[in-house]
Structure 1
Amino acid sequence: MAKDLTIKALENFKPGSARREIPDGHTRGLFFVIQPSGLGNWALRYRIGGKPKKLTIGPFPAIDLPTARKLAAQSIQAIACGEDPAKTKKAAKEAARAPVAPVQDIFEDVVDKFIARHAKAKNRKSTADEAERTLKREFVSVWKGRRLSSITRAEVRDVLDAMVDRGSPGTATRNNPGVANENGSIEAANGHIKVRLDQRLPRRESRDFDSLEAYRAFVDRVCDRHNARRAKAVAAERETLKKLPRRRTTDFSTVTPKVTRNSTINVDRVLYSVPSRLIGHKLEVRLFDDRLECFLGPDLVMRLTRVRTDGARGHAIDYHHLIGTLRRKPQALRYLVYREALFPRAAYARAWAALDAAVPPRDACRAMVGLLVLASTREAVEIALADRLDAILDAGKLPDLAKLEEEFASKPSPSSEVAIPEPNLQVYNRLLSSACEVQL
């Protein structure tokens, strides 16, 4: 186990022939780096999405030991909230180095230069005058004062669409040379709809939706508004449509992954957790647009919400599926590549970051797994425990597993006593007498 660094130890470290990284036992992930030249600096090593990352904190002795630990603790807190401090630092540097917009990048200045150097120099006077009039009326009036590099392709299409809607399709065509025209609105690419959706989303208070139905209703409204001017073309197309088949067609693809010993399956670059009882079995997974249906033989065993990822790997983890394994091997928590996706709420990620930075590794793993076991008992406990953890961490304290188990332990409901009277045996004698009379 790494020892706590001290000021005296830092002053006595001697450079070697190779670069050295000396861990600080006080703050997990903090390293003192000594270069062969004798220069020293601080670095923080951590993981985001299962990938190792490194953050250079600063040089020593300009940043002393207490300051380095404080800055490392702040970065660990940011990591627990889902941020990447190294990425944030890099973005800040790039923003500081960004050049100031040159004067020649202003849109109306670019238009004036284009007219002088190209339109008037290479065309007849009438053609050049028409180009100048169109550019200034249709474009300069909209983008005056803006940088040319800030104008997006979507904004250009909006201006061209406005020309067509106004009844000037020829003007739009002349200002859009070299771009293929679609064979009618019905055959247009879905890119137009995607652009409209991207324009409408910022006008809402949030890009999130309460449900899939709410998102579909939003898309329908945008499509209806976008297609309003094409009502005649849509109506003509509908007249030629045939009835849908009586039976629903197959709208899913199928894969057959095997459940690993870690109770996971890998589907379309996303790692999903499944119940441990399925370990070792091959599942038939049907991939729908919004969900996964998992079959074991002919039986549907579970449905999962489909997750999509733009990166190399995604994770969709339900800690209830893995809590049994972690309970037997709590130290495995530290090395899980999908550890950040395991925590059900942000409060649990904060608790792990605080425990990992303040207590020995084995104790941190045991305490965190204990918190997850406690949260897995009931959903109400998971929510209440998250609120309690936030309050404890905001107060600058560490969660005490024993006290929390005592506070949130399931208490058996009191059983009511039921009085059962003893049967009267004379009743059976009367039944026997009645049977004898019937036989006689």
Structure 2
Amino acid sequence: MPLPGEVFETGLTLTPRVDRYAMITVKMCRYSVPARFIGHKIRVVLRSAELIAYDGRMEIARHPRLTGRGEERIVLDHFLEVLLRKPGAFAGSETLDQARVDGSFTTTHEALWAAAKSALGDIEGTKVLVQVLLLHRHLQHADVIAGVRAALAVGAFTRDVVALEARKVAETGGRSPTVSADTPIPEPPPPAPDPQVTCLTMRRVAQLPLDNRPLPVLEAWDQLLRGPRKDPQGRAPVPDR
């Protein structure tokens, strides 16, 4: 038989609460979600090879499934707003270490960070780096990297210069530089119409022969409504009002 058209979800659905570190615990492992969901309950679909977190119907995080007890998966992008307010926590964070390992924080980012800190100091230079990292939410990753390199080549490192150079690279390549931050979620298919249900009583009635008898005359019965009602305990009749 052909496979059904509807997608059948095989993952396990859970509703963990996001802790104060913007982490959720699922099956003895911890995963990061955007910091704005701290304290909220979210919906998680745990599949054999990945974990997907939703706020309502909007996907907010996707991780490869961890298998070792106590393992953590942290995404740098989930903490950028927090690091913008507390830039001093960026240098020694586990978030930065994992971003270096998975390759999302490249040597180009390192060069930008070093140039910004050299010109503005550690705190302000880190803020500039975080602002540039936020560009990855709206611009293509490769375009941002090319924009950083172009900005450093002319001795600049600000967010606006990097964004301008990234858009130039995209326009030169004949493509749009912007990306959609949220993956569109298809609307659910309309519900199938209910099958026609035949009532057994109506089916039996339809099989009966036609009844040609005249309708009964009920005028004589109306006299009972006009007569006095007898009290059930034997007292005097109660007149109708």
Bin the TM-score by the shorter chain: 0.3 to 0.5
When the two structures are superposed, what TM-score results if normalisation uses the length of structure 1? 0.29
When the two structures are superposed, what TM-score results if normalisation uses the length of structure 2? 0.47
